[in-house]
Amino acid sequence: MKRSALFIAAVVFTVVALMAAGCGEKPKEGAQAPAPTAPKVNMQDGQWEVTVMNEMPGMPAGMMKPHTFTTCLSQKEPIAKPQDQPADCKMQDVKVAGNTVTWGVVCPEMSSKGTITYAGISYDGVTETTMKVEGKEMKMKTTMKGKYLGACPTPPSAPVQK
């Protein structure tokens, strides 16, 4: 009985001491509040192998083959930028919620929305693209699978097609 009473008293004392230590403390005059940090995604910074598969309604099955490339990704830049993206296209609305990154791309003749969900050393993603070709609106769905390979080469290289 004495042991449990001493244990409970020690726990209560520790909790009260921790509360007292934090409650009365005020920021020092002129001290900067800590800057909010960007949300962290469950991903490894480094070189990634990305495989993409495009699907377009009306296109015969097997016509669009998957292609694979490597690129460096990081917490600051978790989205692989297409090498052939026209200069007049702009990435916008990049958002992080948990382990999912969403974004949009807007070009004069095309728009796209994408999402990637990271799981440490892998990711799955999809983009939905709407474009105008010869005055007709076409839609394309792209699925992506990413796999972490290791550290980026020094200096980091541009995306490399395989």
For the chain, domains (ranges, CATH) are 46-161 (2.40.128)
User: What value does the mean pLDDT take over residues 60-82?
Assistant: 86
CA 90 → CA 3, 12, 52, 56, distances in Å? Answer: 67, 57, 21, 23
For residue 63, pLDDT over 60 is answered with yes
For residue 153, pLDDT over 50 is answered with yes
For residue 125, pLDDT over 70 is answered with yes
Q: Which pLDDT score, from 0 to 100, does residue 65 have?
A: 87
pTM of whole model > 0.95?
no
Q: Which of 5-14, 18-27, 35-44 comes out lowest in average pLDDT?
A: 5-14
Q: Which pLDDT score, from 0 to 100, does residue 58 have?
A: 81
Q: Which pLDDT score, from 0 to 100, does residue 59 have?
A: 80
Q: What is the chain's mean pLDDT, rounded?
A: 76
Q: Please state, in angstroms and rounded to a whole number, the distance separating the CA atoms of residues 90 and 108.
A: 10
Q: Which pLDDT score, from 0 to 100, does residue 87 have?
A: 80
User: What value does the mean pLDDT take over residues 46-69?
Assistant: 88
